[in-house]
Amino acid sequence: MSLTTPSTLPLRRRRLWSLVATATVAAMLLAGCAQSGPAPSDDTPTAGGTLTYGRLASANDLDLHTQITSNNAFAIDKIFEPLVSFDESGEIIDWLAENHEISDDGLVYSFTLRDGLKYSDGTDVQAADVKFSLERNIEKQGPIMLTAPIASIETDDEERTVTITLAEPYTPFLSELTGFAAGVLPSDFGGKSEEEFFENPVGTGPFVVSDWDPAGDLTFVKNEHYWQEGKPLLDSLVYTFVADDNQLLQRLSAGQIDAIETVPAANASEVDGNDATTLISGDSWAIEQVFFNTQKPEFSDVHVRRAIARALDLEGITQATTFGTARAATSLIPPSIAYSAADAGFELGYDVDAAKQELAESGYPDGFTATLLIASGNASRAQIAQIVQESLAQIGITIEIESIDLAAFRERFRAFDYDFMLNSGQSDSPDPNGLVTFQADPEGFSNSYWTHYTNDEVTALMHEGRTTPDGPEREQIYLDIQRILAEEVPYIPVYYASTLHGTTSKVHGLEGLPNASIRFQDAWIEE
C-alpha cells in the first residue's frame, strides 16, 4: 500500500522543491501587490458553481406553516420569503416589501411590494398572495403561527399594497412577520394540490428545489427570477446530510464539502485557526438554561432556586463547555434581542457562601437529593450537568444526572415528569415578546416552558409589553420582567450561545443570521 517506493522518491522531491520555489515566488509577488495596491482578484465575486453545505439532519418537510425544526426551517427560508426580514444583527429590514408604514396608533400596517417581483416559475407575485399566505399561516395553527390580533388583511394588486389592520396594538407584529412562516406563496398553490405544491414548492426565494430526498440530500438550483439583481451567484446549492458532527468537520477540513452548518464549540478554534477553513460566528437568539420544575416541592421554594443560581459559576461553566465561543448569561433576553438586561446587573452572581445562606433560609437547610434530566448525545450539556452536580454538592444538594435520548427527554419534560433539566430557549424573532411569552406565560400551553412558573406581575407586564409602542417605556417593561425573573429564578440562563458555521477558505459571502440560518444569495466560491 505504500506509495513511497524508491523510484518515486526523487520525483516527489523534485516536485516538492518546485512547489517551494513557486510558492516563494508567489508569496513575493503577493507581498509586492499588497504593498503597492489593493488585494488581487480574491475579493471579486465569481458567479457559478455548486456549494455543498453539510448538515446534521435532512429536510423532510417544506411546508412553511407546519414546520419549525431547523432542519426544515433553514431549507424553507431559501424558498419562501417574508415581507420584512432581519439582518446579521437582528435589525428588521424590508424584504419583499420595498417599504412599510405603521400608523401612529399602531393598528394599521401598510406594505408596498417591490416592483416586478416574480416567483421561481416566472409568474408574478400578487398582493393577494400575501393575504392567502398569512391566512393559511393562521389557519394551520402551526408552531410559528402569527399571534397578532389581525382584524383584516386588504390587498390591492394594481398598487401592490398589503394593508393589515389589527384589532388592538401589537408591537411585536412586525417582528413576527420576519419569520420564515410568514413567507409568501402563490394563492391556491398556483392551481396545484397542497401536497403537490410542497413536493415541488414555488416561492420568491433565491433557490428552487431541484432534487430532494426527504431522508437525505436536498439540491437547490438558482432561482432565475430572483428579485435581487444578479443573485444568487451560485448555480446550485446542495444540502448534504451527514449524520455525524465529527465526520462533518473532517469533510470540511479535507475540502470534501464547502461549508458546514454546525461547528462544535470544542472545534471552533481549530476551524478558525486552520488556513484552509473559516469560522463564521455570530450572536444568536439561543440561550442555554437550567429549568426548574416548580411543581416539585424543593424547587417551588424560591430560596432553593436562588441558592442554586448562586452556587453556579456561570463564567467557569461557559468557558469550560463552550471553549470561549459563548458569553456567560446574565439575563433571560440575550443581547442580540431588543431590551436585553444583559448589562443591567440583575443577576445574582456566583457566591458559594451566599448560596449556603440562601439554602439555610429555605425549607431544606440540610440539602436534598434531586435528579437533573438531560438529553443524551450533547457532550457540552453532559459536561454542564457534571459541573452543576459538583457545584451543588458544595452546598449540600445531591444531584443524580439522568441522561436519556431526545425523544424520551421531550416526553418527560412535556409531562412535567422531571425535577430540573438542561435545555435551551430560542427566540424566532428579534422582539423580546416571543421568548418572554414562551418562558413566562403561565396561560400558554407550555406553562412557562414546563416550569409551571406563575407570577401575576410578570404576566401583567408581558401583556403590557405587547401593546406598548417601542421606546423607553417598553424597554422598562422588559427590564422589569428580567429583573423579577433574575430574582425568582424559574430558570438560570447559563450562556448566550453563538452561531458557529464553518466554510473552506475558498467560500465567501455567506451571511450568518442570529436564528442560526445562513443566507446564500451572495455566496461564491473561488475558482
- Grid cell in block for residue 431: 422582539
* Residue number, 307 or 516, with CB nearest to another protein: 516
DSSP code of 106?
S
For residue 232, is the peptide bond before it cis, meaning its omega torsion is within 30 degrees of 0? yes
Maximum Cα–Cα distance for the chain, whole Å? 84
Nearer to another protein, 189 or 241 (CB): 241
Gap between the Cα atoms of 180 and 185, Å rounded: 11
Nearest distance from C-beta of residue 144 to another protein, angstroms:
7
Q: Is residue 5 a contact point for another protein (CB under 8 A)?
A: no
- Bridge partners (DSSP) of residue 54 are 240, 260
Identity of the residue, 314 or 507, whose beta carbon is nearer to another protein in the bound complex? 507
DSSP state of 444: S
Out of 187, 210, 256, 319, the only residue in the binding site for another protein (CB under 8 A) is 256
Closest contact distance (angstroms) between CB of 252 and another protein is 9
Q: How far is residue 44 from each of residues 13, 29, 237, 465, measured CA to CA in Å? A: 35, 19, 20, 46
Say if CB 74 and CB 261 are below 8 A apart: yes
x/- map, 45-74, another protein, by CB under 8 A: ---------------xx------xx-----
Half-sphere exposure for 68 (CA within 13 Å, toward CB): 11
Query: How many CB atoms neighbour CB 414 within 10 A?
Result: 13
By CB under 8 A, which span of 113-121, 244-252, 360-368, 506-514 interacts with another protein?
Answer: 244-252
**298-302: long-range contacts, CB 8 A cutoff, minimum separation 24:** 298/363, 298/364, 298/368, 298/370, 298/419, 299/370, 299/419, 299/420, 301/362, 301/363, 301/364, 302/488, 302/489
Residue closer to another protein, measured from CB, 241 or 364: 241
Question: Is residue 408 at the binding interface for another protein, with CB under 8 A as the rule?
Answer: yes
Task: Indicate which single residue of 189, 364, 416, 438 sits in contact with another protein (rule: CB under 8 A).
Answer: 438
Using CA atoms, how far apart are residues 522 and 240, in angstroms rounded to an integer?
A: 20
Phi, psi of 413 (to 5 degrees): -75, -30
In the list 64, 153, 237, 248, the residue contacting another protein (rule: CB under 8 A) is 248
Number of residues that bind another protein (CB under 8 A): 39
Give the nearer residue to another protein in terms of CB position, either 71 or 126. Answer: 71
CA-closest candidate to residue 74, choices 56, 98, 51, 101: 56
Query: 439-468: which residues touch another protein (CB under 8 A)?
Result: 445-446
d(CA 227, CA 58): 28
User: Considering only 101-109, 136-144, 280-288, 290-298, which stretch makes contact with another protein by CB under 8 A?
Assistant: 136-144
With CB under 8 A as the contact rule, the residue among 19, 31, 406, 460 that binds another protein is: 406
CB 259 within 8 A of CB 252: yes
- Would you count residue 407 as binding another protein (CB under 8 A)? yes
CB of 390 to another protein, least distance (A): 28
Shortest distance (Å) from residue 140 CB to another protein: 9
Between residues 20 and 254, which has the closer beta carbon with respect to another protein?
A: 254
Task: Select the residue interacting with another protein from 246, 369, 394, 505 (CB under 8 A).
Answer: 246
Does 204 interact with another protein (rule: CB under 8 A)? no
Could you say whether residue 244 binds another protein (CB under 8 A)?
A: yes
Specify the residue, 412 or 483, whose C-beta has the smaller distance to another protein: 412
Rounded CA-CA distance 134/80 in Å is 12
Would you say how long the chain is, in residues?
527
Query: Which DSSP category does 116 fall into?
Result: T
CB 283 within 8 A of CB 334: yes
Smallest gap from Cβ 218 to another protein, in A, equals: 12
At 514, the amino acid letter reads P
Please say which residue, 46 or 69, places its beta carbon nearer to another protein. 69
Residue closer to another protein, measured from CB, 87 or 213 = 213
Q: Contact with another protein (CB under 8 A): which of 5, 7, 35, 141?
A: 141
- Give dist(CA 108, CA 428) in Å, integer: 23
* CA–CA distance, 183 with 473 (Å, rounded to integer): 31
Min dist CB 16 to another protein, Å, is 15
3-state SS, 367-383, equals: CCEEEEEEECCCHHHHH
Which is nearer to another protein, 14 or 414 (by Cβ)?
414
Q: From the CB of 225, what's the least distance to another protein, in Å?
A: 29
Using CA atoms, how far apart are residues 92 and 340, in angstroms rounded to an integer? 17
**144 or 309: whose CB is closer to another protein?**
144
Between residues 229 and 415, which has the closer beta carbon with respect to another protein? 415
Determine which residue in the list 216, 230, 363, 469 makes contact with another protein, applying CB under 8 A.
216
Rounded-to-integer distance, Cα 56 and Cα 76, Å: 16
Q: Which is nearer to another protein, 257 or 341 (CB)?
A: 257
Q: Is residue 125 involved in binding another protein (CB under 8 A)?
A: no
Give me the 163-202 binding string for another protein, x by CB under 8 A, dash otherwise: ----------------------------------------
- Rounded CA gap, 259 and 42, in Å? 18
Q: Does 139 bind another protein (CB under 8 A)?
A: no
Contact set with another protein (CB under 8 A): 3, 60-61, 68-69, 141-144, 213-217, 240-244, 246-248, 250-251, 253-254, 256, 404-408, 410-412, 414, 438, 445-446
